[in-house]
Structure 1
Amino acid sequence: MTTGSPRPTRARSAERCSFSSGGASSCSRDLPTADITRTDSNQSDPSRITSDSLHIGSSGSGNHHRSNSDPFDDGGDELVRVSETGKHGVEKRRKDDGTNNNSNKVQALPTLLRFPCMQTRNQNCWSESPTEMFEVRGPNYMSGGKIKIPCNKYLLSSRGCDLFLTNDINSMLDISKLQGGLGGNLRKKPTFAFRFLFPWGMLIQYYEVPPKLVPFMKMEDNNDDSKQQRSTKGFTNAERILAEWFASDDPEYKNDRLKLIAIVPEGPWIVRNLVTGKPALIGKRLPVTYRYVPHQKHMECLQICDLDVSSGSTVAKKTVSVTKRYLSSLTAVDIGFVIEGKTSEELPEEMLGSIRLHQVDPTEAPTLH
């Protein structure tokens, strides 16, 4: 329930974060919900997840806002009603379309702004990590010497990042509650999302999937027509391996390939000692779930990788606990992913993508109920 005097603002275009001396602007669009199927490492049968009502509370300051909306937003003149819950409340937005029928709309959720951001003094925001932060397996890695080379590009471009607090594990597992991610712009582009599920909440990274890789996102699609559509002719080795990884519905195969690389360029010794920057086959250390949300009218397809840190190893839990404690004081934390190349035909590797967090304080994140 939100209180306060509503004020009209204009929805305009989300992922692109513009800012001026007056600070960054923010807005969103509402999107309908979607039916969702899931495949995970502990359950091979797909199950249907139904939509729930969404309630948002707030914990901490208002430094977590919506970013400007999608540059392809065609609703620049649509009015949005905004109301707030007190001084540190989270905005609740509802599209004013001239009718009272919003039963098929989804609440736009707050999202982190893009760095640089004067509105938050460059805190509680994100940016795409510099590619030179990472080294990947080079073309001759398997021939001897195990030589790595600097990363020079990402296969997927970063769309944004969300951080939520919650005491309800079901809030994290129910994807239908997150259809309003990225300030309501999640389903405007084909997207791959990594969700880190912590005991206290979740961190979500969003990456845009380019057109050439979109046909591979439907994990169970193996009919003849799609095989022709899913040709990898002209792909680089890394693009081909990523396409095969996207298309696979085998959790063991996916877990055996997905590597996480976390880097803390500057920070307390205790954090840098735990976050070493070495690649880790994350599916070997944490329970991982893969889900696919199909394309629907006006909504692009979505593939999600859930990393359940709350059920991980003792070392993983300790690392997360320490990192959370110091996260707000860290100027930068880079979290990236790469699909491992295991043969010479699968090299050189290319980073899937990476997002940098800038002094993000989890205690100030909005609460999801």
Structure 2
Amino acid sequence: MYLIAMNLVVSFETSEEEPALDIDLSCFSGNLRHDDNENGRNCWRISDGNNFKIRGQSFCEDKRKTPAGKHLMDLVAVDWFKDTTRIDHVARRKGCAAQVAAEKGLFSLVVNVQVPGSTHYSMIFYFVTRELVPGSLFQRFVDGDDEFRNSRLKLIPLVPKGSWIVRQSVGSTPCLLGKAVDCNYIRGPTYLEIDVDIGSSTVANGVLGLVIGVITSLVVEMAFLVQANTPEELPERLIGAVRVSHIELSSATVPKLDSD
């Protein structure tokens, strides 16, 4: 899907925002299977941050990019949904990873990649951390206005496995998501959800039309980050990155969403 065209990477400002490695991840679940096997199918795994290059400490002077390294947040679950209409505000769903995180006093970033069609699909990534660091680039992104968010949310895509034409169409160039497609931001008490509407872009729909028929043959990686523009904000940091492998459209399920 245009998931393919959108590897999500979000950068952060300080080393204080290291992933909380002591978070118990066993309590989180999504309907897409987590499988670290290199040859896994219809599943997800966490991508190696070093697969992606991001702006280094001295980028403003030398434009140098460096391997991203460790993620700022933990990717704890992925959901793969379908419905007859676009699926919005999934973080309100009872029992979802964002609500489980809230019960444990954790903060979530929920990225909902919405794929249009006669059947609407959504692939949702749940990233969690212990807390927002006051004054950090990520905290400013979470609590900023939509104009600021759209100017900073960055995706880096990779297609490790796929046909030449798909690789060429998707590429690996970072893009500002809010400039490429419509993004709707929902700030809850313990989460920020980003609904990424692929159907809002003619170009994105063109890429989607190319890859939708071969999605089961593809392995796609996406990294999300907040773009750093000043020396004070550098170096960039990945929010998180995911690898999805050989996704089956038929495995998507219809979610039960609670009313707002």
Looking at structure 2, the residues matched to 113 and 143 of structure 1 have their Cα atoms a distance apart, in angstroms, of 43
The residue that corresponds to 1:357 in the other structure is 244
What is the Cα deviation at residue 209 of structure 1? 2.1
Match of 2:167 among 253, 265, 272: 272
CA 1:329–1:187: 2 relative to 1, 3 Å: farther
* Runs of 5+ consecutive residues of structure 1 not aligned to the other structure: 1-68, 74-108, 217-229, 233-239, 295-300
**Deviation of residue 323 (structure 1)?**
2.8
Q: Structure 1 pair 362/177, CA: closer, same or farther in 2 (3 Å)?
A: farther
Relative to structure 1, is the Cα distance of residues 269 and 201 closer, same or farther in structure 2, using a 3 angstrom cutoff? same
1:160 aligns with 2:114: no
Retained in 1: the 8 A contact 2:112–2:194? yes
Cα distance in structure 2, aligned partners of 1:176 and 1:135: 30
Which string of whole-angstrom CA distances, capped at 9 and with x for unpartnered residues, describes residues 262-308 of structure 1?
110121112101111111011011111111222xxxxxx22101111
Match of 2:157 among 262, 283, 286: 262
**Deviation string, structure 1 residues 63-107 (Cα, Å, up to 9, x no partner):** xxxxxx95359xxxxxxxxxxxxxxxxxxxxxxxxxxxxxxxxxx
Provide the residue aligned with 1:71 in structure 2: 26
1:179 maps to 2:94: yes
Length-normalised TM-score, structure 2:
0.79
CA distance in 2 between partners of 1:183 and 1:112 (Å): 15
Q: Which residue of 1 aligns with 2:231?
A: 344
CA contact (8 A) 2:91 2:99 kept: no
CA distance in 1, matches of 2:101, 2:84: 23
Deviations 1:23-48 (A, max 9, x none): xxxxxxxxxxxxxxxxxxxxxxxxxx
Task: Give the aligned partner of residue 130 of structure 1.
Answer: 48
Cα distance in 2 for partners of 1:71, 1:163 equals 19
Q: 1:324 aligns with which of 204, 212, 226?
A: 212
**Unmatched tracts of structure 2, length 5 or more:** 1-23
CA contact (8 A) 1:117 1:125 kept: no
Evaluate the alpha carbon distance shift between residue 175 and residue 126 of structure 1 in structure 2; reply closer, same or farther with a 3 A threshold.
closer
Q: Is the aligned partner of 1:197 residue 2:114?
A: yes
Structure in which a larger fraction of residues adopt strand:
2
The residue aligned with 1:9 is none
Is the contact made by 2:43 and 2:247 (CA closer than 8 Å) also made in structure 1?
Answer: yes
SS of 1:208 mapped into structure 2? strand
Paired residues for 1:30-179 under 5 Å:
71=26, 111-116=31-36, 122-144=40-62, 146-169=63-86, 172-175=87-90, 178-179=93-94
Closer, same or farther in 2 for the Cα pair 1:201/1:137, shift >3 Å? same
Structure-2 separation of matches of 1:209 and 1:132: 20
Pairwise CA distance, 1:210: 2.6
Secondary structure, aligned partner of 1:195: strand
CA RMSD of aligned residues (A): 2.5
- Which of 108, 125, 139 is 1:243 aligned to? 139
1:117/1:131 CA distance change after superposition, 3 Å: closer
Per-residue displacement from partner, 1:150-203 (whole Å, max 9, x unpaired)?
11111111111111111123xx12547633334984644421100011112111
3-state secondary structure, aligned to 2:26: coil
Which structure has more relative contact order (CA 8 Å, sep 6+)? It is 2
Aligned residue for 1:355, secondary structure, equals: strand
* Aligned-partner residue type, residue 143 of structure 2: A
Q: 1:176 to 1:358 in 2, by over 3 A?
A: closer
**CA radius of gyration, larger in:** 1
- Give the secondary structure class of the aligned counterpart of 2:84: coil
TM-score, with structure 1 as normaliser: 0.57
The change in CA–CA distance for 1:184 and 1:344 in structure 2 (over 3 A counts) is closer
Letter in 2 for 1:364: S
Q: Is the 8 A contact 1:111 1:163 kept in 2?
A: yes
- For 2:107 and 2:92, the matched residues in 1 are separated by 18
- 2:177 partner amino acid: I
Q: Do residues 282 (structure 1) and 170 (structure 2) align? A: no
Cα pair 1:324 1:362 within 8 Å, conserved: no
Provide the identity percentage: 27
Give the 3-state SS of the residue equivalent to 2:45 in structure 1: strand
Q: Is this contact kept in 2: 1:110–1:366, CA < 8 A?
A: no
Count matched residues.
Answer: 228
Which residue of 178, 191, 195 corresponds with 1:302? 191
**Closer, same or farther: CA 176–154 of 1 in aligned 2, 3 Å:** closer
